[in-house]
Amino acid sequence: MNKPLDYIFPAPPAGLDPTALDPARVPQHVAVIMDGNGRWAKKRALNRLRGHKAGIEAVRETIRCASDLGVRYLTIYSFSTENWKRPHDEVVGLMDLFAKTMLAEVDGLHEENVRVKTVGDLSVLPAETREAFDEAWRTTGDNTGMTLVVAVNYGGRQEILRAVEGCMRHAVLEAEETGGFLPPTGELFERGLYTAGIPDPDLLIRTSGEMRVSNFLLWQIAYAEFVCTDVLWPDFDRYEFLRCLLEYQGRNRRFGGVE
């Protein structure tokens, strides 16, 4: 934990006790499906892009809180491979928002010693958006604090197929060099994932009351604890994050074993 609990949670609502959080059991890797921006906007008779913009403050709050608590990896699901099906104006607005937000936030993240990494196929993103993410990596790549993993144009099924193709290429090369076939290993497969070198999530949070994984980290969340909250993403704050962490700490993680 990088900051004391009373600093991180200065004004907890009634009935929520930050001291109930065990600093020694803060999850190493938290993944978040940030859902509900569109519904948040609709409830206020606003367009969907206004909801996405409102969600930026929740992103800031979650990054700051996770870093202060000593979370080592925070993965946020920003844009899926299926999100291209959304209205054109919304997609264009999101790509512009990604670029502007990343460029505006990178210096602050750097000062906080946060390292920014992306997972997903960035090759099809607009040049300005790709460059913003590249700049964030160049600026923060040597930082040693929390790693912020931004999943953009990411799909779990596509990632698995990519890793399988890598294993097949490796097998063909091995066969050409040795004359024999060596079956691929789990270690080789995982080296082909976007998340190679990153530990699997301990906790997966999904907002807005939805109860599905939406093609997110399908291989990596095999033993993650799921916590779903009805809070829409723009309303997600450090105290809702605390509630999710407390629920996580109340679970008994057996990884297929018995007590």
Please identify every residue annotated as catalytic: 35, 83
C-alpha gyration radius of the chain? 19
| Separation between Cα atoms, residue 35 and residue 96, nearest integer Å | 19
| Separation between Cα atoms, residue 72 and residue 107, nearest integer Å | 19
Residue 127 CA to its chain's centroid (Å): 22
| Separation between Cα atoms, residue 231 and residue 61, nearest integer Å | 15
Which element (helix H / strand E) includes 48? helix 48-69
| Separation between Cα atoms, residue 102 and residue 162, nearest integer Å | 27
